[in-house]
Amino acid sequence: MVLGCDASKKATAVGSEVSTPYAAPSPQSSPADQTAVSAGPAGPALHIDSTRAWQYVKDIVAIGPRWSGSKGQQRLGEYLHAKLKSDQVEEDAFVADTPEGKFTMRNIIAKFPGKKDGIIVLGSHIDTNYPLRNTSFVGANDGASSTGLLLAIADQLRGKKLEGYSVWLAFLDGEEAIRDWTDEDSLYGSRHLAQKWQQDGTTKKIKAFLLADMIGYADLDIQRDTHSTPWLEDMVFRAATHLGYQSYFFSQTLHDLKDDHLPFARAGVPVADIIDIYYGYNNAYHHTIEDTLDKLSPKSLQITGDVILETIRLLNASAESSLPSAPQRLPS
Ligand SMILES: [Zn+2]
């Protein structure tokens, strides 16, 4: 993510625009209105182990830079496969045409089958910023935090008979621009996977795509995003409220944020980007070598991970017919 006045700006934001997210619910917000959730088909509330999540983030940062095509990313791929070795894992390899030539990229997808017909996809990008490849940039928050978080979520799904929807974890390559952010030079992995899933019919089965990005910052403040699907964001906020974490969510709204959720939104999938794009005073740590572990906290991983798991529970508890499929408010 990039925010600010540089050429690769990806979003603008208006502070405190939404202080009461339920003040003006959209017509599609009905599934989020059911406050009573049965413990039955939705299953019990799950929580991540933040100590393990923190260790995963540390391990990933220790690999060093992990830009698309780098040795570091190769090692990260091996690390993910090792951590997911007892799970159903697939690779989606492809060649991306970039302003710097052809890059071999790969998404890694871990599938946890559920009993209900339908899929909830959780996403994170695994690449670090390419233009910073000759620096010490390690992307502790921007890349590692959400990737480690998905591994910690996998720990909670593994070995359980999921009564609800299947949950797929999508580790996405090539989120970052190779040169300067444009629609063509960005989101390589998510664009490829969204297209593939549209062609093979998977898209129709996806009930929700929840993206995590830059969620490790110790001063966590996740923004509402106008390109996300309102009813799904309402559901995320309700999940946060159930856990007492609502003060970390949606005090500000992002406009025209571009991230890995967009290709899925364009394909008709309900999406929510769970992101805190303000990283440091005046966004000082974002896309700089200051994006290091000492800015993050296990608590922020706990908050985000538990809210994602609770959102899954709410999705499972919602009646099938009440989950709208059409996205709203897409970028033109
Ligand atoms: Zn980035």
97 CA distance to ligand 1 middle (Å): 19
Which residue in the block uniquely carries the two structure tokens 């959780």? Answer: 122
161 CA distance to ligand 1 middle (Å): 35
pLDDT one-digit tens code per residue, 28-54: 444 444 444 444 557 788 999 999 999
For residue 172, give the nearest of 121, 103, 124 by alpha carbon.
124
321 CA distance to ligand 1 middle (Å): 37
259 CA distance to ligand 1 middle (Å): 9
pTM of the model: 0.89
153 CA distance to ligand 1 middle (Å): 22
Q: List, as one string, the DSSP characters of 192-258.
A: HHHHHHHHTT-GGGEEEEEEEES--BSS--EEEETTS-HHHHHHHHHHHHHTT-GGGEEEEEEES--
80 CA distance to ligand 1 middle (Å): 20
134 CA distance to ligand 1 middle (Å): 15
- Per the CB < 8 A criterion, the answer to whether 176 and 130 are in contact is yes
277 CA distance to ligand 1 middle (Å): 10
pLDDT in tens, the chain (332 residues): 554 333 333 555 544 343 333 333 344 444 444 444 444 557 788 999 999 999 999 999 999 999 999 999 999 999 999 999 999 999 999 999 999 999 999 999 999 999 999 999 999 999 999 999 999 999 999 999 999 999 999 999 999 989 999 999 999 999 999 999 999 999 999 999 999 999 999 999 999 999 999 999 999 999 999 999 999 999 999 999 999 999 999 999 999 999 999 999 999 999 999 999 999 999 999 999 999 999 999 999 999 999 999 999 999 999 665 677 655 555 54
215 CA distance to ligand 1 middle (Å): 12
41 CA distance to ligand 1 middle (Å): 37
Q: Exposure of 162 by Cβ count < 10 A (0-12 exposed, 13-18 middle, 19+ buried)?
A: middle
Q: How many residues does the chain have?
A: 332
177 CA distance to ligand 1 middle (Å): 8
213 CA distance to ligand 1 middle (Å): 9
pLDDT one-digit tens code per residue, 7-27: 333 555 544 343 333 333 344
7 CA distance to ligand 1 middle (Å): 14
Can you give the pLDDT at residue 43?
74
Can you give the pLDDT at residue 44?
81
24 CA distance to ligand 1 middle (Å): 32
Can you give the pLDDT at residue 129?
97
324 CA distance to ligand 1 middle (Å): 31
Count CA within 13 A, CB hemisphere, residue 134: 1
